[in-house]
Structure 1
Amino acid sequence: MIDDLFAQARADHVPPPDDLVARVLADAARVQAGRAAAKPPVRQGLWARMLDAIGGWPSVGGLATAGLVGLWVGVAPPDEVEDFAAPYLGDAVHVNILFADWDLVAGEFVDG
């Protein structure tokens, strides 16, 4: 039954009224004339497009702040963070990343 309905719809071709076609073509000509008179869009560079994509300078400031805070908490965590994480992570492991045993003058590790 549905195939018959589709076949009938394909067979019935009613052309649009002439005044509708004239209005559509007049509107298209108006839009084309407006576009021809407009200036071409200014192309932005890659960095400007990326900046727009993330929300502009306020977002960059927030991302920079969050990144620096994350780095700071990762390098020198407060005691509360270490106490909170110890039961979940097990024994604490301390790694010296600042080379406290490195002698800058001699350029070698110092014993003890």
Structure 2
Amino acid sequence: MSMSDKDQDIGGLGAFFDAARAHPPAPSAELLARVLSDAEAEQVWITRRTEAARAAPRSGLLEQLYRLLGGWPAMAGLTTAVVAGVWIGTTLPEGLSGSNEAAYLVDITPEAVFELAGDF
């Protein structure tokens, strides 16, 4: 005997299944009201989020770099390092200023200066 969905009547349950199909359960009015309320609240939240995203200005290259580096603390450290590097690079140490200024410069090939200038 072949079995299919229409031929199954195990132990006389077919009558009960037919009765259940004839009267499907309907959700209560309270449940529908709560579901509708939750859906409206979610819709308002999504609408606000979408409007905020549209209103936000697009960030430029500097703004993206600022965010990539980590914000104000990282930018403050980077700025301090740049200022210190420029300061150290442009000022001579105190012991080397004055008449001994050229003492720290070492010319590896002094004859190359004369070759480039030419023989006069």
For Structure 1 versus Structure 2, the TM-score category normalised by the shorter chain is 0.3 to 0.5
Give the structure with the higher percent helix: 2
Tell me the TM-score normalised to structure 1 length. Answer: 0.37
Q: Which has the higher contact order (CA 8 A, sep 6+)?
A: 1
Q: Which has the larger radius of gyration?
A: 2
Tell me the TM-score normalised to structure 2 length. Answer: 0.35
